[in-house]
Structure 1
Amino acid sequence: MSFTTARSRWSDVWLVTMARGVSSCGDFLAASALTLALQSAGAGGLAVSGLLMAATLPLVVLVPLTGRLADRVDSRTLLVVVGLAQAGICLALAHTGQPALVIVLVGLLATGLAVTQPVLAALVPAMVRPEDLPRASALQQSAGTLGALAGPALAGVLVGGFGVRLPLLIDAASYLALVGAGLLIRTRRGGGRRVAASPSGGGPASTGWRLRRDPLLLATVVGVAGVVGAVGAINVVEVFFIRETLHSTTTMYGLVTGAWTLGVLAGAWLFARLAGRLRRDGAMAGASLALLGGCCVAVLASAAVPSAALVVPIWLAGGICNGGENVFGNVLMARRVPEASRGRAFAVFVGAVQGASMVGYLAGGFLLELFAPRPLVAAAGIAGVVAVAVLAVPVARAARAERGGLTAAGSGAEPPDPEERAGAARTPGAGLATPAPGR
């Protein structure tokens, strides 16, 4: 698919990286602060799941709109306007004490995220050459992970010392990093712009891209979403497991949460080089699902620990798997989707995963009213492992079908042309072909 044909614009990549790091820190700082505030105020699992639902629902229901906005409207305009709006909303959130209004404002913040997330995701492949994409993707994962690592830890300290308002004000300021990035980044998409096709890409961008026309990508998206839905209850149960079952402080909660995100940072770089070496998309899709299985095993193992300190190394390993899966998913999506449709593709992917997360949030909220946190952590891990085993079947089937199709296409005197190969992946009946929250 289309990447830049000139030298990679690393200055733009670094601008996006720094903006994402700052804004991600503010985002996780605010989310952790609100979660801790609810738990400390005596709210139950339903209240926490309601907050998470408000932060997730817009990313699911607005997919048809936000994906097209990312592809058709100037990326600079979207980043600047939406970033300023989010900063204002967060300022209002910092001065709001009514739970119902807090939920509404969190939903509005998520609406902005539903727009900016596919914009940034689609911009990065347009900044670099194909061979540089794994490194650029690892940088983006690193920025989001460092922000996610610092955010919960800061929340544990700031909420204990200053309450909820200060973390929310810091989050409001962090949105200005997105505004600055939008103004300074030279690479732009949307608004009638087109990025030239790479010599190794798939030719002209197709405006008729549909996920269902790519069986391998479809199987991978369904697989990731299915696993996330199965294990997603852990996002609600986590704070009660750490704080109540393991009797830990808010600071320890932040440190335990940070262990996973530190693992994501390490995993992004550990697997970035492997992503560049995996030439077959089917192999990358299978590896991505296997790493998700590693995440689920880590969740299951954490259910047996007697203290929060022992969760740290287990979740560090789970985060490493998570980081690798994120890099594989980003590279796979950029490889297989035409440039003109990439914003919509990333929006569809995020919408599917977040929609599955909502299932986990609801299940976690209701189940916490009936069961203790520890058995729910174990159940989430088991459900995730089972989901990986079940969903590996369609992914493997699609990968085998693609290998067969490409072998047939290349059985002549010359190997198949890369453009012909990419085109086959988009044509029904032809050779088949295939995130922690962040801004």
Structure 2
Amino acid sequence: MSFTTASSRWSDVWLATAARGISSCGDFLAASALTLALQSAGAGGLAVSGLLLAATLPLVVLAPLTGRLADRVDSRTLLVIAGLAQAGICLALAYAERPAMMIALAGLLAVGLAVTQPVLAALVPAMVRPADLPRASALQQSAGTLGVLAGPALAGVLVGGFGTRLPLLLDAASYLALVAAGLLIRTRRGGRRVPEKVLADGGIEPRTWRLRRDPLLLATVIGVAGVVGSVGAINVVEVFFIRETLHSSTTMYGLVTGAWTLGALAGSWIFARAVGRLHRDGALAGAGLALLGGCCLMVLISAAVPTALLIVPIWLVGGIFNGGNNVFGTVLMARRVPEAVRGRAFASYVGAVQGASMVGYLAGGVLLELLDPRPLVAAAGVAGLAAVGVLAVPLSRAARRDRAAGTPRQAPRTADPAEPVAAPKVEAGTAVTPVPGR
């Protein structure tokens, strides 16, 4: 792997953290506002699943392209252009009135997200020393979860008091944080910053790296994607479960949703301390899958509650598990992927996970036309737990093979001629994102 060879550049980490937090808040502010607008207008599960699919499809379809862009084009250029484009699209979204137009613009907005996610993810290891990566990762996860925490809560309050336009205008302004970060962050990658050739003592040639050639990483991606696809219907069902089955307000919907992200904030710091104790990558991958199982268990338990308020502590625990999984995934990817292709690796990871989540979105939208929300919440939890049990088998086998083969060869360290202090993350989940993909 390749991190900075000098002292960690924490000023850049904080700038990236602030940009991620503000833009994440805007993302979920808009997503929650549009979801509530569709539900309040009488739209069914198919309309909500259509919105989620539109916001996810670019992350899947464009992953091969945006990953290469993140590795080959100057990170500053990408952040500035994408941030300005997203601000303009969100401004148009604030004045869109037809559901079809909202869905189409949400899809365009996600195109920018497909670009900025791998750019920011791949920048973080370039800013810090290996020993500081868990802390930097926790800061990034904290920013994302704080944004996700604030976004739905603000949406619940603002939509109830002012309608959907004001939240969407605030979202447009939030994307300017990406522009500012692109201009102020000194650490850069891509463009003319070509890594040095591979060292002769066993480094991994970046051009030959493929996800399928790393059985442990491949099993991890398949495991996370499989669980997300199985439990993903909860993302569509949740708003109907809280608003219609439990007869709660838009404000309560925002608070319940925010409880998961508050837990993820705590979990990212709790489990960042545990990363140092897991020296083998197989143990790290296995622990991440186990934490996803905990997330699914909390979804199952929530199906039995009589009131929305009781979901809050359950969602809080689920979020703690989710935050730990995100940190473990970040460190695992940074350990095993050469720096020169880290943007492509992250985009591939997110594309696989978001592609799986689309299956859940579609299933949730279709099943809501046939069944009540409560049994669907329970079914999502059971399906997720079953996926964890099934996918733990190939992951365990890959971990044993990896352990038998010894420590994997690391990517060579590289020097960045344009950034003498910083030589040249992939984070799990987005999302992206409560249970990844949420």
Calculate the TM-score normalised by the size of structure 2. 0.92
Q: Report the secondary structure of 2:208's partner residue.
A: coil
The answer as to 2:301 corresponding to 1:287 is no
Pairwise mapping of residues 244-323 of structure 1 onto structure 2 (< 5 A)?
244-323=244-323
* Residue aligning to 2:410: 422
1:106–1:211 distance in 2 versus 1, CA, 3 Å: same
1:96 is displaced (CA, Å) by 1.1
1:204 is displaced (CA, Å) by 6.6
* Residue aligning to 1:437: 431
- Amino acid in the other structure paired with 1:14: W
Deviation by residue 1:79-115 (Cα, 9 ceiling, x = unmatched): 0001000000000110111222211111110001001
* Residue aligning to 1:215: 215
Pairwise mapping of residues 9-28 of structure 1 onto structure 2 (< 5 A)?
9-28=9-28
- Amino acid in the other structure paired with 1:325: N
1:339 is displaced (CA, Å) by 0.3
Deviation by residue 1:312-340 (Cα, 9 ceiling, x = unmatched): 00010000000000000011001100000
* Residue aligning to 2:57: 57
Q: Distance in 1 between matches of 2:432 and 2:299?
A: 21
Given that 2:350 and 2:430 are in contact with CA atoms closer than 8 Å, whether structure 1 keeps it comes out as: no
Pairwise mapping of residues 134-153 of structure 1 onto structure 2 (< 5 A)?
134-153=134-153
Q: State the superposition RMSD in angstroms.
A: 1.9
- Amino acid in the other structure paired with 1:218: L
* Residue aligning to 2:425: none
Given that 1:5 and 1:198 are in contact with CA atoms closer than 8 Å, whether structure 2 keeps it comes out as: no
Deviation by residue 1:180-215 (Cα, 9 ceiling, x = unmatched): 00000001010021467999x974761221000000
Unaligned runs of at least 5 residues, structure 2: 413-427, 434-438
1:287–1:202 distance in 2 versus 1, CA, 3 Å: farther
* Residue aligning to 1:431: none
Q: Distance in 2 between matches of 1:297 and 1:197?
A: 47
Given that 1:205 and 1:340 are in contact with CA atoms closer than 8 Å, whether structure 2 keeps it comes out as: no
Q: Distance in 2 between matches of 1:141 and 1:195?
A: 27
Q: Distance in 2 between matches of 1:330 and 1:403?
A: 20
- Amino acid in the other structure paired with 1:400: R
1:58 is displaced (CA, Å) by 0.3
Given that 2:216 and 2:282 are in contact with CA atoms closer than 8 Å, whether structure 1 keeps it comes out as: yes
Q: Distance in 2 between matches of 1:150 and 1:20?
A: 13
Q: Indicate the larger mover: 166-175 or 91-100.
A: 91-100
Q: Distance in 2 between matches of 1:319 and 1:274?
A: 17
* Residue aligning to 1:118: 118
1:438 is displaced (CA, Å) by 5.4
Q: Report the secondary structure of 1:97's partner residue.
A: coil
Q: Distance in 1 between matches of 2:411 and 2:349?
A: 21
Q: Distance in 2 between matches of 1:218 and 1:68?
A: 19
Pairwise mapping of residues 201-240 of structure 1 onto structure 2 (< 5 A)?
203=203, 206-240=206-240
- Amino acid in the other structure paired with 1:80: V
* Residue aligning to 2:241: 241
* Residue aligning to 2:74: 74
* Residue aligning to 1:428: none
* Residue aligning to 2:90: 90
1:422 is displaced (CA, Å) by 2.8
Given that 1:2 and 1:203 are in contact with CA atoms closer than 8 Å, whether structure 2 keeps it comes out as: no
1:421 is displaced (CA, Å) by 3.2
1:95–1:438 distance in 2 versus 1, CA, 3 Å: farther
Q: Report the secondary structure of 1:422's partner residue.
A: coil
* Residue aligning to 2:376: 376
Q: Distance in 1 between matches of 2:178 and 2:162?
A: 26
Q: Distance in 2 between matches of 1:187 and 1:40?
A: 45
Deviation by residue 1:23-54 (Cα, 9 ceiling, x = unmatched): 11111111000000000011100000000000
* Residue aligning to 2:181: 181
Given that 2:93 and 2:105 are in contact with CA atoms closer than 8 Å, whether structure 1 keeps it comes out as: yes
Q: Report the secondary structure of 2:96's partner residue.
A: coil
Q: Distance in 2 between matches of 1:259 and 1:197?
A: 47
Q: Distance in 2 between matches of 1:205 and 1:4?
A: 19
Q: Distance in 2 between matches of 1:198 and 1:230?
A: 40
1:310 is displaced (CA, Å) by 0.5
- Amino acid in the other structure paired with 2:101: L
Q: Distance in 2 between matches of 1:198 and 1:243?
A: 56
Q: Distance in 2 between matches of 1:270 and 1:437?
A: 19
Q: Distance in 2 between matches of 1:299 and 1:93?
A: 32
Q: Distance in 1 between matches of 2:318 and 2:205?
A: 37
The total of aligned residue pairs comes to 417
Deviation by residue 1:328-376 (Cα, 9 ceiling, x = unmatched): 0011001100000000000000000000000000000000000000000
Given that 2:2 and 2:411 are in contact with CA atoms closer than 8 Å, whether structure 1 keeps it comes out as: no
Deviation by residue 1:269-298 (Cα, 9 ceiling, x = unmatched): 000011122110000000000000000000
Q: Distance in 1 between matches of 2:65 and 2:148?
A: 27
